[in-house]
Structure 1
């Protein structure tokens, strides 16, 4: 039954996330928020909601390793799996904001997370507030830069559906209700199934969280990236995936820690998982500039994907 719970949980998270994104964007249009701001904030936060719900539920149930493993594993999957597969299908161009804003900020948060966990082996409520404040600073910077730019960032129609501006208030309410219930039910089933499966397989909850749960909560990003790549569209850029990683650390762990402080239960989180996340995050820079600059080509995507496969293999064999 554990596998059934996991599959049902993942399905509900995908459905709930889709309804939440739609309702959030539609509501933002009704509040007359610009499409650019919706893309940079509302959509990014809404797509991080599955990770948030799973992490909060796991922390409340006393499974901190799932909370941490979910975020760390999702960040690794976003780069190794999602970015790798997307680049294999179609080469990605790298914009200036990647190495000027997004990548440095992601690395700063990633390194900060390591020191937070290593210092007291817990993310306290105060540290959770600091992570959220860091997110506010990041959003202020990217929105300010976008507004000052002579050529404002265009948000893809795949990312923000303009037709949602005509959605009625009643339909928005129904979408929010469906999305909220589906996300809550999905997180409950996924955490329960993950814990049961870990016990059956004789592995830790951390292993299941860093691999299966992380991949599951990254399914929306993976699906959107593959579809965009097949259509030869640039809807999913390197910057968008980096932004997702920033939201995962700052908002998911930040909000979760404020609700319930997150303790490090398994030492492998500090001796292995966090270093894999830092390695994947740091590896993007040489891949982005060598040998051909500003292009993430197919063979670079293969390098990322193979590295992710090695990571998964080592996690299960450890």
Structure 2
């Protein structure tokens, strides 16, 4: 029964996230916000909603390990699983903004998260405020850079014609789906952890993390199969930054998140930092500015090794 709740939770998170993205973008058009800003901010926040709801629900229900490892696991899955599988389908080109801006910022957020957790064994409201403030600064700089480079995010123009009534319905459906999806997923995952004799941290860094990365994986695979450049390394890097800045930042502002599982600081977070760090040499060796099929295989293999070691350990 627990597995059923987890599956239903996953489905509701995907559906709820989609409705929230659509309603958010449509509402942004109503307020005459530019496509650039919508793509950089509104869509990014909306797509982080499943992770945010899961982490917040976990923290408030007394499962802080799930709250932290949901983000850690999602960041690992974004690079090892999503980027790896997408590269296996077709090589991904990398632009110079990756190593000049996006990658350094992701590393700063990752190391900052590690410092905050290692320093006192918890993520406090003040530290969460720092993460959120840093995210706002990142977004301002990102929008300025994007305007300068004249690059505009893909945003569906058809959503500009949606009525207020439909927007409200989408918002309600999205909110309800996300609420129940996060609740069922967290409770189901906790039951599974108890029944198979592993910690909540193990379930959250694997099962829950993969579940909250399913929408990105599906979109990436479909785009790669159609040979569309709808997925880029920059998008996944941005997702990892949002996971730390908005998901953990906002959750810890509402409730302090203590580290209750030693593996989080002794193992899992180092995998997250490692997957992030290895991307820099990977784009230069052996073929520059490209994540080839071979590199995609290496990422997927490393992710599989991580999953094996987590369950074995």
What TM bracket, shorter-length normalisation? over 0.9
Residue equivalent to 1:203 = 198
Q: CA deviation at 1:254?
A: 0.3
Q: CA deviation at 1:273?
A: 0.3
Residue equivalent to 2:42 = 42
Residue equivalent to 2:71 = 71
User: Does 1:291 pair with 2:290?
Assistant: no
User: Does 1:27 pair with 2:27?
Assistant: yes
Residue equivalent to 1:6 = 6
2: CA distance, partners of 1:214 / 1:243 = 17
Residue equivalent to 1:90 = 90
2: CA distance, partners of 1:38 / 1:233 = 21
**Greater mean deviation of Cα atoms: 240-249 or 139-148:** 139-148
2: CA distance, partners of 1:101 / 1:31 = 30
The one of 273, 278, 281 aligned to 1:278:
273
Residue equivalent to 1:116 = 116
Residue equivalent to 1:139 = 139
Contact kept, 8 Å, 2:55 with 2:66, in 1: the verdict is yes
Secondary structure in structure 2 of the residue aligned to 1:203:
coil
**Greater mean deviation of Cα atoms: 33-42 or 260-269:** 33-42
Residue equivalent to 1:55 = 55
Which 4+ runs in 1 deviate beyond 4 A? none
Q: CA deviation at 1:261?
A: 0.7
2: CA distance, partners of 1:39 / 1:155 = 5
RMSD: 0.6
The one of 169, 182, 187 aligned to 2:182:
187
- 1:106-146 per-residue CA deviation (whole Å, 9 max, x = no partner) reads 00010111111000000000000000000000000010111
The one of 240, 244, 247 aligned to 1:249:
244
1: CA distance, partners of 2:40 / 2:189 = 32
Residue equivalent to 2:153 = 155
- 1:18-67 per-residue CA deviation (whole Å, 9 max, x = no partner) reads 00000011111111111111111111111110000000000000100000
Secondary structure in structure 2 of the residue aligned to 1:68:
helix
The runs of 5 or more residues in structure 1 that have no matched partner are none
The one of 224, 229, 232 aligned to 2:227:
232
1: CA distance, partners of 2:165 / 2:205 = 38
Q: CA deviation at 1:148?
A: 2.3
2: CA distance, partners of 1:123 / 1:309 = 29
Contact kept, 8 Å, 2:122 with 2:257, in 1: the verdict is yes
User: Does 1:102 pair with 2:97?
Assistant: no
Contact kept, 8 Å, 2:146 with 2:152, in 1: the verdict is no
1: CA distance, partners of 2:47 / 2:301 = 26
1: CA distance, partners of 2:110 / 2:44 = 18
2: CA distance, partners of 1:53 / 1:281 = 24
1: CA distance, partners of 2:232 / 2:157 = 20
1: CA distance, partners of 2:242 / 2:255 = 18
The runs of 5 or more residues in structure 2 that have no matched partner are none
1: CA distance, partners of 2:146 / 2:28 = 18
User: Does 1:215 pair with 2:210?
Assistant: yes
Secondary structure in structure 2 of the residue aligned to 1:218:
helix
